[in-house]
Structure 1
Amino acid sequence: MTRPPASHLALTAFLLLLGAGGGWSLAQLGAPLPYMLGSLLTSALAVAFFQHRFPKDYLFSQRFRMLFVGVIGVMIGAQLTPEVAALLPLMLVSIPAMALFVLAAHAMNYAIFRHLGGYDRSTAYFAGSPGGLIESITMGEAAGADVRLLTLMQFLRIIVVVALVPVGMSIWEGHPVGSASGLSLGPNAGGDWLGVAQVMALAVVGVALGVWLRLPAGQLLGPLALAGALVLTGLVEISAPPWLLAMAQVVLGTGLGVRFTGMTRAILVKGMGLSLVSVAGMMALGVALSMIVARLSGLPVDMLVVSFAPGGVVEMGLIALSIAANPAFVTLHHLVRIFLTVGELALVGRLRRF
């Protein structure tokens, strides 16, 4: 991979500094998940008003983002304990509910994008997928969907969920979630530089393993599995300072915000409206199923709501970390959601011949 031009690196550094400033400002206001939402907001605004000044073909560094996805994977893996493993049999109740969620959410989204948005059948079908971002774009392109609209709606799904779920969970919990709520990341929440080095090393090795083994969401699952295995042995104790999680939030939020590059305001406004309707419907469905599963299994409703929220695996794991809602358990549900969604995309897409 060629090294990005200096102008690209300079813009990335500026956007990250801008995002950190936006995150700090929201943290002072007691906002939920402030560093992710603040950086997402500032980078999206920068794209909306100044993208004509961006260097040609600017791309946010995916290798840099991958490193911090790995950091979050390590932090989630550090939460794997025998207590979490004991919850796995209860997935026999929640997994069938997840399958129902995938089918119902996809059907609802198809109707919204086809009839309210006016998208063609192929674009509406693949844009309405409640997961599997890369897979839906790849399959949709092969089926003749409008890749520009498909990509926009898939990224907006993640962005809108990331923006709304922390707010909703803060209202539910009665206090802000995320770093503004005094999140503890391990036995030594203050952490030290040795702990930071340990987390970064595990992130690098875990990402490499996940990619090499071609694991689903390998950038996250590789570090998660590596850290979890080490913690379960009882030989390793992983802790990290709160600022490392804040830094990971800034990188992820900025990376999401710059996804708006190249879109006209008219397309963005229409897409945002459709996405709000879609996400509201999916969240209502997810909350209803969460309450039913909670009644049948005894699992906490807040943990199930985050498990059914149709956002990205990384972002939902980060929110789960913020509310101490068994992030490993939540992440497993999102991996299952993506697996079920991709399978349904392939099967129905082949039968319908979009």
Structure 2
Amino acid sequence: MPHIPQTAALLVLALFGALIAQATGLPLPFLIGSLLATAPVAIFATNRLPAGYVFPINLRLPFIALIGAVIGAQVTLALLASLHDLLPSLAAMVAFVLLAQGLNYAVFRVIGGYDAPTAFFSGAPGGLIESIAMGEATGAHQPTLIAQQFLRIILVITLVPAGLSLWLGYPVGSAGGLSFNTVPVTWPMYPQAAVILALGLFAGRALSLPAWQLTGPLIVSAGFALMGQPLALPNWLILLAQLVVGASLGMRFAGLDMPTLRRCLWLSLLSLTLMFAIGAALAALLVGPTDQPFKTLFITFAPGGVNEMALIALSLQANPAFVTLHHIFRIMLTVLLLGFIAKRLNKVD
């Protein structure tokens, strides 16, 4: 892993931010606190980092896999038996993707004044990597597109836990002292976790699964759980995963100038307000048909990254297997829509 001293220093800074966030009662302090601590470095102090420095992907990878494994451990036979009950929520997700994409395009095209490709791919409610790649191929303005897509994810993982804390009246996530395990942690689970992560990462990549770093270990861990061997790991590992994921997201702001960031920020807030409104309306309609609480359904429609939303659902004990399944479905739908429209965008101005 290159630039080890710089990465270690960033993680120490991230830990400092996480502890401050925890002391002040912020929700998901190890995720949000680490993000808030490293983002200013990315924006204002990139000259202090080596040229071309990026947060190591190989450091983030095992923690994303770990999140998937812990979620997979919560898959039960009862959940599998209820899959037919997911049809209303999956149909609602189709409506969410279409409405969000259309309204976001209007926000970025009409209000933001972006060109058609930049507006369309900036408004994608999922598929961060795919939207950036397809946007580049159709002539979208890359700095703007990258900023809008990363702001979507970062603002969602910041605003959703904070909003739920205000609504519920108490801090949620790790700030609330929740446990991530439903079975006791034993020493044999550490080698079991190593096997699950290795098999899951190999299978996820070999099968080209969506969000393979998370879904591969999730599926393998679910298999162990269904055979009566659910995985449980200590909470400090999940907090460490939050710390690393938060630090890596904060560093995504590298290279952005403040005028561009301010413009992208207010447009992103407007876009998210619309998507949150759509998600809240659909969540309210689905409480009865799905027998899920509003909190879980709202997180299900929050348009963050699969990895980050899985982590939030896990931290909030909001049926993470249910939430993750729907977010994977959202990403797949969005990518299909992006691919269908991409060939036609060059004809639009």
Q: Give me the TM-score of the superposition, normalised by structure 1.
A: 0.94
- Contact 1:313–1:335 (8 Å) recurs in 2: yes
Instruction: Identify the residue that residue 318 of structure 2 maps to in structure 1.
Output: 325
2:112 counterpart of 1:136: no
Corresponding position of 1:99: 94
| CA 326–342 in structure 1, closer or farther in 2 if over 3 Å, else same | same
1:285 corresponding residue in structure 2: 278
Q: What is the aligned partner in structure 2 of residue 303 from structure 1?
A: 296
Tell me how far 1:192 sits from its aligned partner.
5.4
Secondary structure class of the residue paired with 1:210? helix
Aligned to 1:275: 268
Indicate conservation of the 8 Å contact 1:179/1:242, yes or no. no
Structure 1 position 37, deviation (Å): 0.1
Rounded to whole Å, the distance in 2 between the matches of 1:65 and 1:166 is 22
Aligned to 1:345, the other structure's residue is in SS state: helix
Q: Does 1:240 align with 2:199?
A: no
Question: Aligned residue for 1:160?
Answer: 155
RMSD across aligned positions (CA): 1.6
- Contact map agreement 1:123 1:140 (CA 8 A) in 2: yes
CA distance in 1, matches of 2:95, 2:72: 28
Aligned partner of 1:334 in structure 2 is: 327
2:307 maps to which residue? 314
Mean Cα displacement is larger for which, 314-323 or 157-166? 314-323
CA–CA distance in structure 2, aligned partners of residues 175 and 63 of structure 1: 35
Query: Residue type of the partner of 2:13?
Result: L
Counterpart of 1:227, as a letter, is S
Distance in 1, Cα, partners of 2:189 & 2:174: 18
Structure 2 residue 225 is the aligned partner of structure 1 residue 207: no
CA distance in 2, matches of 1:187, 1:95: 27
Separation (CA, whole Å) in 1 of partners of 2:155 and 2:230: 35
Counterpart-to-counterpart distance in 2, 1:153 and 1:338:
17
Displacement of 1:280: 1.4
> Where does structure 2 lack aligned partners over 5 or more consecutive residues?
none
Contact persistence 1:129–1:136 (CA under 8 A): yes
Residue 201 (structure 1) shift: 4.1
Q: Hey, what does 1:32 align to over in structure 2?
A: 27
How far apart are 1:104 and its partner, in Å? 0.6
1:255 is the counterpart of 2:261? no
Q: Give identity over the alignment, percent.
A: 46
CA contact under 8 A between 1:66 and 1:207: conserved in structure 2? Answer: no
- Does the 8 Å contact 2:138/2:345 carry over to 1? no
| 1:163 Cα deviation after fit | 0.5
Task: Measure, in 1, the Cα distance between the counterparts of 2:192 and 2:256.
Answer: 40
Q: Tell whether 2:16 aligns with 1:10.
A: no
Asked if the contact 1:71–1:200 (Cα under 8 Å) also holds between the matched residues in 2, the reply is: no
- Larger mean CA deviation between 212-221 and 177-186 belongs to 177-186
Paired with 2:190 and 2:236, the residues of 1 have a C-alpha distance of 10
**Corresponding pairs, count:** 347
Question: Using the alignment, how far apart are the partners of 1:174 and 1:217 within structure 2?
Answer: 33
Q: Work out whether residues 183 and 242 of structure 1, in 8 Å CA contact, stay in contact via their aligned partners in 2.
A: no
Q: Residues 350 and 180 from structure 1, CA distance in 2 versus in 1: closer, same or farther, beyond 3 angstroms?
A: same
Report the secondary structure of 2:54's partner residue. Answer: coil
State whether structure 2 residue 79 is matched by structure 1 residue 84: yes
Q: Does 1:173 align with 2:168?
A: yes
Give the whole-Å Cα distance in 1 for the aligned partners of 2:35 and 2:26. 13
Q: CA deviation at 1:197?
A: 4.6
Distance 2:169 2:189 in 1: 31
How far the C-alpha of 1:89 sits from its partner, in A, is 1.7
Partner of 1:185: 180
Give secondary structure in 2 for the equivalent of 1:186: coil
Structure 1: unaligned runs, 5 residues or longer: none
Q: Give the distance between the partners of 2:50 and 2:164, measured in 1 at CA.
A: 38
| SS, match of residue 247 in structure 2 | helix
